[in-house]
Amino acid sequence: SDPRRVDHERARSWARMVAEGFIPAERVVHHLAGASCVIGKPGPGTASEAALMGVPFVTEAGASVMPQEVCVLDWLREEGLGVTVPDLENCGEDLLVQVETCRPALAKHRNRAVFQVAAEVEEFLKRDVVAAGDDQAVPVGASAEDAERVQR
């Protein structure tokens, strides 16, 4: 095959791709909602946001992975939520096939940790205020009306 020949199907698929740098928090959901996959560094925030939105995460599992990112690679592999490749520059022609194999696991994935953590912190703060015996303390996140009632 002639290497100068343009693969029109591949060119059309690349035309639908968007490369983004930093995405502000308020735009993350918008970007993930329309994504076929996310290719990036194996940080826990981005990988878990992609999983929560049902989007496969593709990342490199090479020597450049930082020690704190190893658990993210393990999680992606064990749960089937993403694809790890040795090198993003040479990730193989079957990458999109690999990405599609993640869809069943992503459909079942229900990560509610962000909500669970908030509830746990709220419970901790409520117990801490009661244990301290401070009847004037106002829990974090209390409404203005609640704060006013405590002050009376």
Q: Is the dihedral of CA 73, 75, 77, 81 positive or negative?
A: negative
Helical residues (DSSP H) of 3-100, grouped into ranges: 8-15, 25-33, 44-52, 70-79, 95-100
Q: Which residue has the higher pLDDT, 129 or 59?
A: 59
pTM: 0.63
Report pLDDT for 128.
Answer: 63
Three-state secondary-structure class, residue 82:
strand
- Alpha-carbon distance of 96 to 84, in angstroms, equals 12
pLDDT in tens, 11-32: 555 556 677 777 787 888 888 8
Three-state secondary-structure class, residue 97:
helix
What number is the average pLDDT over the span 3-11? 53
pLDDT in tens, 42-73: 988 889 889 989 999 999 988 788 999 999 99
The closest alpha carbon to 60, from 90, 35, 34, belongs to 90
In this prediction, what percent of the chain has a pLDDT beyond 70? 70
